[in-house]
Homo-oligomer: A and B are copies of this chain.
Amino acid sequence: MIPRYTRPQMEAIWSPQNKYRIWFLIEAHATDKLAELGVVPQSAAEAVWKAKDVEFDVARIDEIEREVKHDVIAFLTHLAEHVGDEARFVHQGLTSSDVLDTCLAVQMRDAADLLLEGLDRLLAALKARALEHKTTVCIGRSHGIHAEPTTFGIKLARFYAEFARARTRLLAAKEEIATCAISGAVGTFANIDPRVEEHVAQKLGLKPEPVSSQVIPRDRHANYFAVLGLIASSIENLAVEIRHLQRSEVREAEEYFSKGQKGSSAMPHKRNPILTENLTGLARLVRSAVIPAMENVALWHERDISHSSVERGIGPDATVHLDFALHRAAGVIEKLVVREEAMKANLDAQGGLHNSQRVLLALTQKGVSREDAYRLVQRNALATWDEGGHLKDRLKADGDVTARLSDGEIEALFDERYHMKHVDTIFQRVFGTA
């Protein structure tokens, strides 16, 4: 959890205070049901709730843990300091993992909700800017080379659709992680009635884990972190696009650069796309959680504790950094400086080469074989590429071309509106409205 890439809302989910608050709720609700089932006295259940508004003393719990070397026992010991003698009925038949794993499920579920907020902000920004630039023409590039025109709105619509898929996956992952296991030492409910699990699950907005071992199975967690890694990769995708557009030679878009900002300590002229470069790095960080989470799946028998240290790291780190990245990405899009005149200039700079395919198709339509048409266009296109000038002028001067196409027909092949005719179709598909 790198402080400068941490928003307090997500940090709070992983705070010791919040953890102990959730532990308390699990124990208290469980004790309620145990009392109802007659396993512990009703008075015990009532006593526990005395600690309802306690802000638990993290330092004190740490102190106890140093002695007993067990975090849940330390918490229960401290709870007894608040609740009194009745505390001995708390945790009856539960095992530590019942508390730890159900708590982790709550934290991961809540973290997913926060990530969904970030995704929604990013989606809203992408949609707004996509609609704004629906018909802002710019060159499309494959292999970094000018290909054919597109619009900046289509680019953003593409990212919108990608993050909409991310949203769907995250919702499914959240659904999958939100289970409650209170099933005892090896998942047999030997010392605890399954109705306790059902009660606690219902109170915390979780589903009972159908079959647990001592722990909730780790494929659920691995799936969750894989989904975070996928979202991070999509953020990298968006970030790399912006970084390319801001290159000195391209400059079709720029991150907002505030008054008083310094791009470089040494070179006062610099405006660097540092936010999106930073997002690229954060994507690598978030993605690094995926493999350890998958390595956590194969625990020994009914559990070993190797997953725990991994999750102490990647649980907070991956969610905190992704949360930050989503909001940073949204901010970049919201304030992105779009330089339409540069888009126009770049489009015009390559001598009309981006219409080479249309000329090829027109020649084919006129009965030239595809192979011959390709050769005809390529020889004029590569000459334009190497020596400059405009492709249409070269075509008009090539007898093999003019034998098939009139000057007027050639001229018409360079009308840019041709490329825009299906923008509405695409927007309709992505946004449900054109």
Contacts and interface: CB of A to CB of B under 8 A. Distances in A.
Contact of A243 (B144, B151, B264, B278): B144
A217 B169 CA distance: 15
A357 B191 contact: yes
A50 interface: no
A62 to B, nearest CB: 9
Contacts of A391: 269
Interface string A268-304: 1111111001101111110111111011111111111
22 contacts: A76-B265, A88-B368, A95-B264, A140-B301, A142-B272, A143-B272, A144-B304, A148-B188, A150-B186, A157-B211, A169-B223, A188-B426, A189-B425, A210-B426, A239-B298, A262-B374, A269-B385, A272-B305, A278-B309, A280-B298, A288-B288, A295-B295
A433 interface: no
Query: Within the oligomer, what is the number of copies of this chain?
Result: 4
A299 to B, nearest CB: 7
A148 B186 contact: yes
A287 B292 contact: yes
Nearest to A235: B298
Summarize A's interface: helix, strand, loop or mixed: helix
A265 B96 CA distance: 6
A145 B426 CA distance: 33
B266 A150 contact: no
Interface in A189-230: 189-191, 194, 208, 210-214, 217-220, 222-223, 226-227, 229-230
Interface residues of A, number: 170
A185 B161 CA distance: 19
Interface string A37-74: 00000000000000000000000000000011110110
B265 A95 contact: yes
Interface stretch (A101-109, A110-118, A245-253, A402-410): A245-253
Contacts of A358: 190-191
A241 to B, nearest CB: 7
B246 A145 contact: yes
Interface string A159-198: 0011001100100100010000000111111110010000
Contacts of A288: 288-289, 291-292, 314
Contacts of A212: 158
B285 A291 contact: no
